[in-house]
């Protein structure tokens, strides 16, 4: 990963890795450690992953909708790493994150098959080489007290706010395209929490997957059989300090978890 001459990603990475390990919340990065560009932010993130030394489960995508990509200024989905200890089974019970605030995202998650999709192939060709798809929850909770005030490079450095992932029902391959386009909702303790995202605010899972595969090839990110790639939010975003049982539904496919 290339970054600006003179920028050392290690001090910021050490600070963020320590926050991950200790469950600490940071007000921000010191001025002299702060990434200034997209490349700097990713360079910090890669160092954080190395310092944590947790086995890689795959990648999370964020800001993946047309509106999200436009707002980020990146022009493609942002990516972060997911580690195996932070990926959970359906109906998992998880502690509230240190910041207390969560963004619960209902997403489509792909598992790569034996043949990793090739860069430059059509979105349909890349999708054909995926082994399986699931509905899932990404729990976004930044190491920063306020994830919105530090800018996109710092958000990338902070692993695009990744906290945990919950894998729900597998989606039958014959239903993939219809399910990916179906309305999505999240309930909290039986009451409506998040509504279906509309138009440019909703992620297209196939397009997000395709863009990321090309990005991984161009930046040298490892893609291996069995890795998970979760593609981005299908519901209207709502950040809150909520606890309780979250139930997500995409067509007839469900995922649930409890935040204590």
Per-residue model confidence as pLDDT tens digits over 162-198: 999 999 999 999 999 999 999 999 999 999 999 999 9
Above 80 in pLDDT, residue 93? yes
What's the confidence (pLDDT) of residue 150? 87
224 within a domain of the structure (yes/no): yes
43 within a domain of the structure (yes/no): no
61 within a domain of the structure (yes/no): yes
- With cut-offs at 50, 70 and 90, classify the pLDDT of residue 6: confident
Per-residue model confidence as pLDDT tens digits over 17-65: 999 999 999 999 999 999 999 999 999 999 999 999 999 999 999 999 9
- With cut-offs at 50, 70 and 90, classify the pLDDT of residue 147: confident
What's the confidence (pLDDT) of residue 1? 54
- Separation of alpha carbons 64 and 228, rounded Å: 16
* Domain region containing 148: 55-259
And the tokens for 182? 């179906």
**CATH number of the CATH domain containing 105:** 3.90.850.10
- Separation of alpha carbons 23 and 99, rounded Å: 9
Mean pLDDT across 219-229 = 95
171 within a domain of the structure (yes/no): yes
What's the confidence (pLDDT) of residue 3? 55
Element (H, E) at 233: strand 228-233
Mean pLDDT across 219-240 = 95
Pairing of strands 162-171, 87-88: parallel
Show Cβ contacts of residue 56 under 8 Å, excluding neighbours closer than 6 positions: 49, 81, 82, 83, 84, 222, 227
What's the confidence (pLDDT) of residue 66? 97
216 within a domain of the structure (yes/no): yes
Mean pLDDT across 96-120 = 93
What's the confidence (pLDDT) of residue 2? 54
Element (H, E) at 132: strand 130-140
Under a CB-based contact definition with an 8 Å cutoff, are residues 173 and 36 in contact?
no
φ, ψ of residue 70 to 5 degrees: the values are -65, -45
Above 70 in pLDDT, residue 92? yes
And the tokens for 175? 């239903």
Above 80 in pLDDT, residue 5? no
The residue assigned the tokens 């390990």 is: 21
Per-residue model confidence as pLDDT tens digits over 195-222: 999 999 999 999 999 999 999 999 999 9
8 within a domain of the structure (yes/no): no
Partnered with residue 111 across adjacent β-strands are: 132, 228
144 within a domain of the structure (yes/no): yes
Under a CB-based contact definition with an 8 Å cutoff, are residues 81 and 61 in contact?
no
What's the confidence (pLDDT) of residue 233? 97
Mean pLDDT across 144-164 = 92
Query: What's the mean pLDDT when you consider all of the chain?
Result: 95
- Separation of alpha carbons 110 and 136, rounded Å: 10
What's the confidence (pLDDT) of residue 146? 86
Q: Which residue has better confidence, 137 or 115?
A: 137
- With cut-offs at 50, 70 and 90, classify the pLDDT of residue 4: low
Q: How many domains does the chain have?
A: 1
- Separation of alpha carbons 151 and 160, rounded Å: 11
12 within a domain of the structure (yes/no): no
φ, ψ of residue 250 to 5 degrees: the values are -130, 105
What's the confidence (pLDDT) of residue 235? 98
């Amino acid at each position: 990963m290339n970054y600006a001459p003179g920028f050392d990603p290690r001090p910021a990475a050490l600070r963020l890795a320590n926050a991950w390990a200790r469950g600490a919340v940071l007000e921000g990065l010191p001025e002299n450690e702060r990434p200034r560009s997209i490349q700097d932010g990713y360079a910090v993130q890669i160092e954080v992953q190395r310092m944590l030394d947790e086995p890689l489960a795959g990648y999370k995508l964020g800001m993946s909708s047309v509106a999200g990509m436009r707002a980020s200024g990146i022009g493609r989905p942002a990516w972060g790493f997911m580690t195996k200890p932070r990926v959970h089974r359906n109906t998992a019970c998880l502690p509230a994150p240190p910041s207390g605030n969560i963004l619960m995202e209902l997403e489509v998650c792909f598992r790569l098959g034996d043949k990793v999709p090739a860069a430059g192939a059509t979105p349909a060709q890349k999708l054909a080489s995926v082994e399986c798809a699931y509905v899932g929850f990404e729990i976004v909770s930044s190491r920063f007290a306020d994830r919105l005030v530090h800018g996109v490079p710092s958000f990338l450095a902070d692993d695009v706010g990744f906290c945990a992932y919950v894998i729900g029902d597998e989606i039958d391959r014959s239903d993939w395209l219809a399910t990916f386009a179906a309305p999505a909702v999240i309930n909290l303790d039986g009451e409506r929490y998040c509504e279906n995202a509309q138009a440019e605010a909703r992620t297209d899972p196939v397009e997000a997957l395709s863009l990321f595969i090309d990005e991984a090839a161009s930046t040298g990110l490892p893609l291996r059989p069995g890795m998970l790639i979760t593609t981005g939010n299908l519901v209207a975003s709502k950040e809150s300090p909520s606890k309780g049982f979250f139930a997500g539904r995409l067509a007839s496919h469900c995922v649930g978890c409890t935040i204590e």
